Amino acid sequence: MFDWAFALRILPDLLRALRVTVQATVFGMVLALALGLAWALARRSVSGPISWSAAWFVEFVRSTPLLVQVYFLFYVLPGVGLRLNPFLTGVLAIGLHYSAYTSEVYRAGIEGVPRGQWEAATALNLSHFHTLRHVVLPQAIPPMVPALGNYLVAMFKDTPMLSAITVLEVLQTAKIIGAETFRYLEPLTLVGALFLALSLCSAALIRWLERRLVLRTAERL
Amino acid sequence: MKPIVRLRKVNKSYGDLRVLRDLDIEVAPGECLAVIGPSGSGKSTLLRLLMTLERPDSGLIEVDGDPLWEMERGGRQVPADERHLRRVRGKVGMVFQHFNLFPHMKALENVALAPMRVLGLSRREAEARGRELLGMVGLEGKVDAYPAQLSGGQKQRVAIARALAAQPRVMLFDEVTSALDPELVGEVLNVLRQLAQDTDMTMIVVTHEMNFAREIADRVAFFDHGRVVEDDTPDVIFANPQHERTREFLRAVIEV
Protein backbone atom coordinates (compact mmCIF):
# COMPACT_ATOMS: atom_id res chain seq x y z
CA MET A 1 0.00 0.00 0.00
CA PHE A 2 2.45 2.68 1.22
CA ASP A 3 5.33 2.73 -1.25
CA TRP A 4 8.43 3.51 0.78
CA ALA A 5 10.70 3.71 -2.25
CA PHE A 6 8.40 6.28 -3.85
CA ALA A 7 8.19 8.22 -0.61
CA LEU A 8 11.97 8.32 -0.37
CA ARG A 9 12.21 9.50 -3.97
CA ILE A 10 9.88 12.48 -3.50
CA LEU A 11 11.26 13.43 -0.10
CA PRO A 12 14.00 15.76 -1.47
CA ASP A 13 11.40 17.76 -3.42
CA LEU A 14 9.21 18.07 -0.37
CA LEU A 15 12.13 19.10 1.85
CA ARG A 16 13.02 21.81 -0.63
CA ALA A 17 9.43 23.01 -0.51
CA LEU A 18 9.52 22.83 3.28
CA ARG A 19 12.26 25.43 3.16
CA VAL A 20 9.79 27.80 1.53
CA THR A 21 7.24 27.00 4.22
CA VAL A 22 9.75 27.69 6.98
CA GLN A 23 10.92 30.90 5.32
CA ALA A 24 7.34 32.12 4.96
CA THR A 25 6.77 31.36 8.65
CA VAL A 26 9.93 33.10 9.82
CA PHE A 27 9.44 36.23 7.71
CA GLY A 28 5.73 36.23 8.49
CA MET A 29 6.45 36.03 12.21
CA VAL A 30 9.00 38.85 12.08
CA LEU A 31 6.39 40.97 10.32
CA ALA A 32 3.67 39.93 12.78
CA LEU A 33 5.90 40.79 15.75
CA ALA A 34 6.84 44.21 14.37
CA LEU A 35 3.38 45.20 13.16
CA GLY A 36 1.69 43.78 16.26
CA LEU A 37 3.82 46.07 18.42
CA ALA A 38 2.97 48.99 16.15
CA TRP A 39 -0.79 48.32 16.43
CA ALA A 40 -0.54 47.87 20.19
CA LEU A 41 1.30 51.18 20.58
CA ALA A 42 -1.08 52.92 18.18
CA ARG A 43 -4.04 51.71 20.24
CA ARG A 44 -2.48 53.28 23.33
CA SER A 45 -1.96 56.56 21.49
CA VAL A 46 -3.52 59.66 23.00
CA SER A 47 -4.67 60.68 19.54
CA GLY A 48 -8.25 59.44 19.05
CA PRO A 49 -8.11 58.77 15.30
CA ILE A 50 -4.85 56.79 15.52
CA SER A 51 -6.03 54.67 18.42
CA TRP A 52 -9.44 54.14 16.85
CA SER A 53 -8.00 53.18 13.43
CA ALA A 54 -5.66 50.63 14.99
CA ALA A 55 -8.47 49.11 17.04
CA TRP A 56 -10.68 48.93 13.98
CA PHE A 57 -7.95 47.35 11.84
CA VAL A 58 -7.19 44.68 14.45
CA GLU A 59 -10.87 43.85 14.83
CA PHE A 60 -11.37 43.71 11.08
CA VAL A 61 -8.41 41.41 10.45
CA ARG A 62 -9.39 39.08 13.27
CA SER A 63 -12.95 38.82 12.03
CA THR A 64 -12.19 37.85 8.45
CA PRO A 65 -10.70 34.55 7.21
CA LEU A 66 -7.02 34.38 6.38
CA LEU A 67 -7.78 32.78 3.02
CA VAL A 68 -9.93 35.74 2.01
CA GLN A 69 -7.12 38.11 3.02
CA VAL A 70 -4.59 36.07 1.04
CA TYR A 71 -6.73 36.22 -2.09
CA PHE A 72 -7.51 39.87 -1.54
CA LEU A 73 -3.85 40.88 -1.38
CA PHE A 74 -2.94 38.63 -4.32
CA TYR A 75 -5.58 39.98 -6.67
CA VAL A 76 -6.03 43.55 -5.40
CA LEU A 77 -2.47 44.77 -4.70
CA PRO A 78 -1.33 44.58 -8.35
CA GLY A 79 -4.41 46.62 -9.25
CA VAL A 80 -3.18 49.47 -7.04
CA GLY A 81 0.29 49.25 -8.53
CA LEU A 82 2.02 47.12 -5.90
CA ARG A 83 3.47 44.11 -7.68
CA LEU A 84 4.90 41.49 -5.34
CA ASN A 85 5.70 37.90 -6.16
CA PRO A 86 3.37 35.27 -4.68
CA PHE A 87 5.81 34.45 -1.88
CA LEU A 88 6.08 38.06 -0.68
CA THR A 89 2.34 38.52 -1.01
CA GLY A 90 1.86 35.41 1.11
CA VAL A 91 4.32 36.58 3.76
CA LEU A 92 2.57 39.95 3.86
CA ALA A 93 -0.82 38.27 4.22
CA ILE A 94 0.08 35.94 7.10
CA GLY A 95 2.22 38.66 8.72
CA LEU A 96 -0.66 41.12 8.68
CA HIS A 97 -3.15 38.50 9.79
CA TYR A 98 -1.11 37.36 12.76
CA SER A 99 -0.11 40.91 13.69
CA ALA A 100 -3.72 41.39 14.75
CA TYR A 101 -3.30 38.57 17.25
CA THR A 102 0.18 39.49 18.45
CA SER A 103 -1.00 43.08 19.01
CA GLU A 104 -3.44 41.78 21.63
CA VAL A 105 -0.62 39.86 23.29
CA TYR A 106 1.56 42.99 23.36
CA ARG A 107 -1.33 45.01 24.74
CA ALA A 108 -1.88 42.61 27.61
CA GLY A 109 1.88 42.43 28.22
CA ILE A 110 2.29 46.19 28.33
CA GLU A 111 -0.73 46.60 30.58
CA GLY A 112 0.79 44.03 32.91
CA VAL A 113 3.72 46.33 33.72
CA PRO A 114 2.90 48.15 36.98
CA ARG A 115 2.04 51.83 36.79
CA GLY A 116 4.88 52.64 39.19
CA GLN A 117 7.37 51.64 36.49
CA TRP A 118 5.95 54.22 34.09
CA GLU A 119 5.93 56.79 36.86
CA ALA A 120 9.55 56.12 37.77
CA ALA A 121 10.48 56.55 34.10
CA THR A 122 8.61 59.87 34.00
CA ALA A 123 10.33 60.98 37.19
CA LEU A 124 13.68 60.27 35.49
CA ASN A 125 12.50 62.36 32.54
CA LEU A 126 12.92 59.50 30.08
CA SER A 127 11.28 60.06 26.71
CA HIS A 128 8.35 57.88 25.71
CA PHE A 129 10.61 55.92 23.38
CA HIS A 130 13.26 55.21 26.03
CA THR A 131 10.55 54.35 28.56
CA LEU A 132 9.20 51.68 26.22
CA ARG A 133 12.58 50.50 25.03
CA HIS A 134 14.39 50.23 28.36
CA VAL A 135 11.72 50.02 31.04
CA VAL A 136 8.38 48.71 29.79
CA LEU A 137 9.06 46.26 26.95
CA PRO A 138 11.90 44.36 28.68
CA GLN A 139 9.43 43.60 31.45
CA ALA A 140 6.41 43.07 29.20
CA ILE A 141 7.93 40.68 26.67
CA PRO A 142 9.18 37.68 28.71
CA PRO A 143 5.69 36.82 30.00
CA MET A 144 4.43 37.09 26.42
CA VAL A 145 6.69 34.35 25.06
CA PRO A 146 4.29 31.40 25.53
CA ALA A 147 1.39 33.20 23.84
CA LEU A 148 3.58 34.44 20.98
CA GLY A 149 5.01 30.94 20.59
CA ASN A 150 1.52 29.51 20.16
CA TYR A 151 0.87 31.97 17.35
CA LEU A 152 4.17 31.01 15.73
CA VAL A 153 3.08 27.37 15.59
CA ALA A 154 -0.42 28.34 14.43
CA MET A 155 1.06 30.49 11.68
CA PHE A 156 3.33 27.66 10.58
CA LYS A 157 0.29 25.43 10.23
CA ASP A 158 -1.54 28.10 8.23
CA THR A 159 1.17 28.42 5.57
CA PRO A 160 -0.51 25.83 3.28
CA MET A 161 -3.07 28.59 2.63
CA LEU A 162 -0.38 30.17 0.49
CA SER A 163 -0.74 27.28 -1.96
CA ALA A 164 -3.95 29.04 -3.00
CA ILE A 165 -1.86 31.80 -4.56
CA THR A 166 0.64 29.44 -6.25
CA VAL A 167 3.41 29.65 -3.65
CA LEU A 168 5.40 26.44 -4.00
CA GLU A 169 5.31 25.57 -0.36
CA VAL A 170 5.13 22.02 0.87
CA LEU A 171 1.41 21.32 0.33
CA GLN A 172 1.38 22.77 -3.17
CA THR A 173 4.41 20.66 -4.05
CA ALA A 174 2.71 17.54 -2.69
CA LYS A 175 -0.37 18.28 -4.78
CA ILE A 176 1.75 18.66 -7.89
CA ILE A 177 3.52 15.35 -7.21
CA GLY A 178 0.11 13.75 -6.71
CA ALA A 179 -1.25 15.14 -9.94
CA GLU A 180 1.76 13.95 -11.89
CA THR A 181 1.98 10.42 -10.43
CA PHE A 182 -1.62 9.80 -9.36
CA ARG A 183 -0.25 8.85 -5.96
CA TYR A 184 -1.47 11.07 -3.12
CA LEU A 185 -0.98 8.82 -0.12
CA GLU A 186 2.80 9.19 0.15
CA PRO A 187 3.18 12.93 -0.56
CA LEU A 188 0.30 13.98 1.69
CA THR A 189 1.39 11.63 4.48
CA LEU A 190 4.89 13.04 4.27
CA VAL A 191 3.51 16.61 4.41
CA GLY A 192 1.61 15.71 7.57
CA ALA A 193 4.68 14.07 9.08
CA LEU A 194 6.88 17.04 8.26
CA PHE A 195 4.41 19.49 9.82
CA LEU A 196 4.14 17.29 12.90
CA ALA A 197 7.91 17.08 13.27
CA LEU A 198 8.48 20.80 12.89
CA SER A 199 5.55 21.75 15.13
CA LEU A 200 6.93 19.54 17.88
CA CYS A 201 10.39 21.05 17.40
CA SER A 202 9.13 24.62 17.63
CA ALA A 203 6.99 23.79 20.67
CA ALA A 204 10.12 22.37 22.32
CA LEU A 205 12.09 25.47 21.33
CA ILE A 206 9.47 27.74 22.88
CA ARG A 207 9.40 25.70 26.07
CA TRP A 208 13.18 25.94 26.26
CA LEU A 209 13.05 29.71 25.73
CA GLU A 210 10.34 30.03 28.34
CA ARG A 211 12.37 28.02 30.85
CA ARG A 212 15.43 30.14 30.18
CA LEU A 213 13.45 33.31 30.77
CA VAL A 214 12.02 31.91 33.99
CA LEU A 215 15.52 30.94 35.12
CA ARG A 216 16.87 34.36 34.27
CA THR A 217 14.10 35.99 36.29
CA ALA A 218 14.66 33.60 39.18
CA GLU A 219 18.34 34.44 39.18
CA ARG A 220 17.42 37.99 40.16
CA LEU A 221 15.43 36.83 43.18
CA MET B 1 14.82 85.15 46.74
CA LYS B 2 12.70 83.89 43.86
CA PRO B 3 10.96 80.63 44.78
CA ILE B 4 12.00 77.55 42.80
CA VAL B 5 8.63 75.92 43.34
CA ARG B 6 5.45 77.90 43.43
CA LEU B 7 1.81 76.79 43.51
CA ARG B 8 -1.07 79.24 43.22
CA LYS B 9 -4.69 78.28 43.84
CA VAL B 10 -4.12 74.72 42.74
CA ASN B 11 -7.13 72.42 42.76
CA LYS B 12 -7.20 68.69 42.20
CA SER B 13 -10.05 66.23 42.56
CA TYR B 14 -10.33 62.51 41.98
CA GLY B 15 -13.96 62.08 41.04
CA ASP B 16 -15.97 63.62 43.86
CA LEU B 17 -13.03 63.69 46.21
CA ARG B 18 -11.38 67.10 46.44
CA VAL B 19 -7.76 66.43 47.29
CA LEU B 20 -6.30 69.91 46.97
CA ARG B 21 -8.30 73.09 47.52
CA ASP B 22 -6.87 76.39 46.30
CA LEU B 23 -3.46 75.30 47.50
CA ASP B 24 -0.83 78.03 47.74
CA ILE B 25 2.74 77.12 48.63
CA GLU B 26 6.25 78.24 47.76
CA VAL B 27 9.65 76.68 48.26
CA ALA B 28 12.90 78.65 48.11
CA PRO B 29 16.00 77.29 46.35
CA GLY B 30 18.04 75.10 48.67
CA GLU B 31 15.27 74.89 51.18
CA CYS B 32 14.20 71.62 52.80
CA LEU B 33 10.45 71.62 53.30
CA ALA B 34 8.85 68.85 55.32
CA VAL B 35 5.18 68.20 54.62
CA ILE B 36 3.20 66.56 57.39
CA GLY B 37 -0.47 65.87 57.93
CA PRO B 38 -3.08 63.13 58.14
CA SER B 39 -3.58 60.54 55.37
CA GLY B 40 -5.60 61.88 52.48
CA SER B 41 -4.70 65.48 53.23
CA GLY B 42 -3.16 65.92 49.78
CA LYS B 43 0.55 65.68 50.66
CA SER B 44 1.41 63.02 48.09
CA THR B 45 -0.80 64.68 45.50
CA LEU B 46 1.30 67.81 45.83
CA LEU B 47 4.39 65.79 44.88
CA ARG B 48 2.63 63.93 42.07
CA LEU B 49 1.51 67.23 40.56
CA LEU B 50 5.04 68.65 40.76
CA MET B 51 6.42 65.52 39.08
CA THR B 52 3.76 65.90 36.32
CA LEU B 53 2.39 62.47 37.15
CA GLU B 54 -0.99 64.17 37.56
CA ARG B 55 -2.47 67.27 36.04
CA PRO B 56 -4.10 69.93 38.21
CA ASP B 57 -7.76 70.75 37.56
CA SER B 58 -6.97 74.43 37.90
CA GLY B 59 -4.32 76.77 39.26
CA LEU B 60 -0.70 77.50 38.47
CA ILE B 61 2.35 75.34 39.19
CA GLU B 62 5.75 76.85 38.47
CA VAL B 63 9.17 75.25 38.70
CA ASP B 64 12.12 77.60 38.47
CA GLY B 65 9.89 80.32 37.00
CA ASP B 66 8.39 78.09 34.28
CA PRO B 67 4.73 77.09 34.43
CA LEU B 68 4.50 73.29 34.17
CA TRP B 69 1.46 72.94 31.97
CA GLU B 70 1.67 76.14 29.94
CA MET B 71 4.26 77.70 27.72
CA GLU B 72 4.64 80.90 25.79
CA ARG B 73 4.24 80.86 22.06
CA GLY B 74 3.93 84.01 20.03
CA GLY B 75 3.39 86.08 23.17
CA ARG B 76 0.46 83.93 24.30
CA GLN B 77 0.15 81.24 26.93
CA VAL B 78 -0.70 77.93 25.29
CA PRO B 79 -0.93 74.38 26.71
CA ALA B 80 2.54 72.88 27.15
CA ASP B 81 3.79 70.41 24.57
CA GLU B 82 5.87 67.34 25.37
CA ARG B 83 9.13 69.22 24.78
CA HIS B 84 8.30 71.96 27.25
CA LEU B 85 7.10 69.39 29.75
CA ARG B 86 10.32 67.41 29.49
CA ARG B 87 12.46 70.51 29.86
CA VAL B 88 10.72 71.57 33.06
CA ARG B 89 10.32 68.01 34.35
CA GLY B 90 14.08 67.54 34.15
CA LYS B 91 14.48 69.96 37.05
CA VAL B 92 12.48 67.73 39.35
CA GLY B 93 13.23 64.24 40.66
CA MET B 94 11.20 61.94 42.85
CA VAL B 95 11.69 59.03 45.23
CA PHE B 96 8.64 56.85 45.72
CA GLN B 97 7.21 55.09 48.75
CA HIS B 98 7.46 51.72 46.96
CA PHE B 99 10.87 52.40 45.34
CA ASN B 100 9.69 51.56 41.79
CA LEU B 101 13.15 50.31 40.87
CA PHE B 102 13.41 48.64 37.46
CA PRO B 103 13.51 44.95 38.44
CA HIS B 104 15.23 43.77 35.25
CA MET B 105 18.23 46.06 35.79
CA LYS B 106 21.10 45.81 38.23
CA ALA B 107 21.48 48.60 40.77
CA LEU B 108 24.13 50.30 38.66
CA GLU B 109 22.00 50.03 35.51
CA ASN B 110 19.08 51.58 37.36
CA VAL B 111 21.24 54.52 38.36
CA ALA B 112 23.02 54.93 35.00
CA LEU B 113 19.88 54.84 32.84
CA ALA B 114 18.87 58.50 33.08
CA PRO B 115 22.41 59.89 32.70
CA MET B 116 22.80 57.84 29.50
CA ARG B 117 19.37 58.26 27.95
CA VAL B 118 18.41 61.71 29.21
CA LEU B 119 21.62 63.60 29.90
CA GLY B 120 23.44 61.98 26.99
CA LEU B 121 26.49 60.72 28.88
CA SER B 122 28.50 57.81 27.52
CA ARG B 123 28.07 54.46 29.25
CA ARG B 124 31.48 54.86 30.90
CA GLU B 125 30.72 58.31 32.29
CA ALA B 126 27.23 57.29 33.36
CA GLU B 127 28.52 54.21 35.16
CA ALA B 128 31.30 56.16 36.82
CA ARG B 129 28.76 58.63 38.14
CA GLY B 130 26.48 55.75 39.11
CA ARG B 131 29.21 54.08 41.16
CA GLU B 132 29.97 57.36 42.85
CA LEU B 133 26.33 57.90 43.80
CA LEU B 134 25.87 54.32 44.96
CA GLY B 135 28.99 54.83 47.05
CA MET B 136 27.50 57.96 48.52
CA VAL B 137 24.44 56.03 49.71
CA GLY B 138 26.68 53.28 51.11
CA LEU B 139 26.03 50.65 48.43
CA GLU B 140 29.35 50.42 46.59
CA GLY B 141 29.24 46.66 47.18
CA LYS B 142 25.84 46.24 45.54
CA VAL B 143 26.37 47.70 42.08
CA ASP B 144 25.74 44.33 40.42
CA ALA B 145 22.78 43.30 42.55
CA TYR B 146 19.28 43.14 41.12
CA PRO B 147 16.59 44.97 43.14
CA ALA B 148 15.06 41.67 44.29
CA GLN B 149 18.37 40.79 45.95
CA LEU B 150 18.33 43.94 48.09
CA SER B 151 16.60 44.76 51.36
CA GLY B 152 13.94 47.46 51.43
CA GLY B 153 16.36 50.00 52.85
CA GLN B 154 18.96 49.18 50.21
CA LYS B 155 16.34 49.43 47.45
CA GLN B 156 15.29 52.84 48.66
CA ARG B 157 18.90 54.01 48.76
CA VAL B 158 19.37 52.83 45.17
CA ALA B 159 16.20 54.74 44.27
CA ILE B 160 17.64 57.89 45.86
CA ALA B 161 20.89 57.47 43.94
CA ARG B 162 18.92 56.89 40.74
CA ALA B 163 16.91 60.09 41.25
CA LEU B 164 20.06 62.09 42.04
CA ALA B 165 21.79 60.78 38.92
CA ALA B 166 19.30 62.64 36.74
CA GLN B 167 20.62 65.87 38.32
CA PRO B 168 17.34 67.47 39.38
CA ARG B 169 17.26 70.78 41.21
CA VAL B 170 14.27 69.81 43.31
CA MET B 171 13.95 66.39 44.92
CA LEU B 172 10.60 65.07 46.05
CA PHE B 173 10.47 62.36 48.69
CA ASP B 174 7.10 60.64 49.00
CA GLU B 175 6.92 58.84 52.36
CA VAL B 176 10.14 57.08 51.49
CA THR B 177 10.35 55.14 54.75
CA SER B 178 6.70 54.10 55.07
CA ALA B 179 7.14 50.77 53.29
CA LEU B 180 10.26 49.81 55.26
CA ASP B 181 10.69 47.53 58.23
CA PRO B 182 11.42 49.68 61.29
CA GLU B 183 15.05 48.59 61.55
CA LEU B 184 15.73 49.78 57.99
CA VAL B 185 14.29 53.28 58.38
CA GLY B 186 17.46 54.73 59.87
CA GLU B 187 19.77 53.98 56.94
CA VAL B 188 17.43 55.78 54.54
CA LEU B 189 16.91 58.75 56.82
CA ASN B 190 20.67 59.06 57.17
CA VAL B 191 20.99 59.51 53.43
CA LEU B 192 18.29 62.19 53.44
CA ARG B 193 19.94 63.92 56.36
CA GLN B 194 23.23 63.95 54.51
CA LEU B 195 21.55 65.42 51.43
CA ALA B 196 19.85 68.12 53.44
CA GLN B 197 23.05 69.08 55.26
CA ASP B 198 25.77 68.65 52.66
CA THR B 199 24.11 69.84 49.46
CA ASP B 200 22.07 72.83 48.40
CA MET B 201 19.44 70.59 46.85
CA THR B 202 15.89 71.82 47.24
CA MET B 203 13.94 69.08 48.97
CA ILE B 204 10.26 68.51 49.63
CA VAL B 205 9.87 65.65 52.06
CA VAL B 206 6.45 64.16 52.74
CA THR B 207 6.89 62.18 55.92
CA HIS B 208 5.30 60.58 58.96
CA GLU B 209 8.60 60.70 60.85
CA MET B 210 7.96 63.73 63.03
CA ASN B 211 11.32 63.72 64.79
CA PHE B 212 13.07 63.53 61.48
CA ALA B 213 11.02 66.39 60.03
CA ARG B 214 11.85 68.48 63.04
CA GLU B 215 15.52 67.73 62.74
CA ILE B 216 16.22 68.26 59.02
CA ALA B 217 13.55 70.63 57.74
CA ASP B 218 14.06 74.36 57.34
CA ARG B 219 10.33 74.71 57.26
CA VAL B 220 7.37 72.45 58.01
CA ALA B 221 3.98 72.65 56.30
CA PHE B 222 1.02 71.02 58.00
CA PHE B 223 -1.58 69.85 55.47
CA ASP B 224 -5.19 69.12 56.21
CA HIS B 225 -8.09 68.67 53.79
CA GLY B 226 -6.12 69.78 50.79
CA ARG B 227 -4.67 73.00 52.09
CA VAL B 228 -1.78 74.26 54.16
CA VAL B 229 -3.14 74.91 57.63
CA GLU B 230 0.12 76.06 59.10
CA ASP B 231 3.52 76.65 57.62
CA ASP B 232 6.42 77.65 59.84
CA THR B 233 9.82 76.71 61.23
CA PRO B 234 10.05 73.27 62.84
CA ASP B 235 10.42 74.87 66.26
CA VAL B 236 7.14 76.74 65.99
CA ILE B 237 5.22 73.86 64.42
CA PHE B 238 6.36 71.26 66.91
CA ALA B 239 6.78 73.32 70.06
CA ASN B 240 4.20 76.01 69.70
CA PRO B 241 1.70 75.27 66.91
CA GLN B 242 -0.73 78.11 66.31
CA HIS B 243 -3.69 76.14 65.03
CA GLU B 244 -5.90 73.81 66.98
CA ARG B 245 -5.93 71.31 64.10
CA THR B 246 -2.12 71.14 64.09
CA ARG B 247 -2.08 70.59 67.85
CA GLU B 248 -4.64 67.79 67.55
CA PHE B 249 -2.68 66.06 64.81
CA LEU B 250 0.65 66.29 66.62
CA ARG B 251 -0.90 65.08 69.86
CA ALA B 252 -2.32 62.08 68.03
CA VAL B 253 0.86 61.09 66.17
CA ILE B 254 3.26 61.72 69.00
CA GLU B 255 1.18 59.71 71.47
CA VAL B 256 1.37 56.78 69.04
- Taking only the tens place, the pLDDT of each residue in B128-165 is 999 999 999 999 999 999 999 999 999 999 999 999 99
Does residue B177 belong to any structural domain of this protein?
no
Give the structural domain span for A27: 4-219
pLDDT digits (tens, 9 = 90+) for A163-207: 989 888 899 999 999 999 999 999 999 999 999 999 999 889 989
A125 contacts on B by Cβ (under 8 Å): 86, 89-90, 114, 118, 166
Number of folded domains that form chain B: 1
- Considering CB atoms only, which of B53, B103, B104 is closest to A122? B53
Residue A220: is its pLDDT beyond 80? Answer: no
A139 contacts on B by Cβ (under 8 Å): 102-104
Query: Measuring CA to CA, how many Å separate B10 from each of A49, A204, B22, B211?
Result: 32, 58, 5, 29
Does residue B161 belong to any structural domain of this protein?
yes
Does residue B239 belong to any structural domain of this protein?
no
What does pTM read for this prediction? 0.88
Q: Which residues contact A95 (CB under 8 A, 6 or more apart)?
A: A27, A28, A29, A30, A31, A32, A35
Give the structural domain span for B131: 103-167
pLDDT attached to residue A218: 67
pLDDT digits (tens, 9 = 90+) for A93-108: 999 999 999 999 999 9
- Considering CB atoms only, which of B100, B117, B163 is closest to A130? B117
Give helix then strand counts, H and E, for chain A. 10, 0
Mean pLDDT of A44-65: 92
Residue B1: is its pLDDT beyond 80? Answer: no
Q: How far is B170 from chain A (nearest CA, A)?
A: 11
| Sign of the C-alpha dihedral computed for residues B131, A139, A115 and B120 taken in this order | positive
What secondary structure letter does DSSP report for A80? Answer: G
* Residue A136 burial (C-beta neighbours within 10 Å; 0-12, 13-18, 19+): buried
A20/A139 Cα distance (integer angstroms): 34
A119/B contact by beta carbon, under 8 A = yes
pLDDT attached to residue A219: 65
ipTM > 0.90, yes or no: yes
Query: Measuring CA to CA, how many Å separate B122 from each of A124, A125, B105, B164?
Result: 17, 17, 18, 17
pLDDT attached to residue A108: 95
Residue B256: is its pLDDT beyond 70? Answer: no
Mean pLDDT of B123-127: 96
Residue B121: is its pLDDT beyond 80? Answer: yes
| Closest CA relative to residue B163, chosen from B123, B121, B118, B120 | B118
Number of folded domains that form chain A: 1
pLDDT digits (tens, 9 = 90+) for B174-227: 999 999 999 999 999 999 999 998 888 999 999 999 989 999 999 999 999 999
Compute the count of residue pairs across chains A and B with CB atoms less than 8 Å apart. Answer: 67
Does residue B64 belong to any structural domain of this protein?
no
- The A residues from 122 to 141 touching B (CB cutoff 8 Å) are 122-128, 130, 134-135, 138-139
Instruction: Mark yes or no for CB contact A126/B90 under 8 Å.
Output: no
Q: What average pLDDT does the structure give for chain B?
A: 93
Q: What is the CATH number of the domain that holds A70?
A: 1.10.3720.10
- Considering CB atoms only, which of A116, A119, A126 is closest to B118? A126
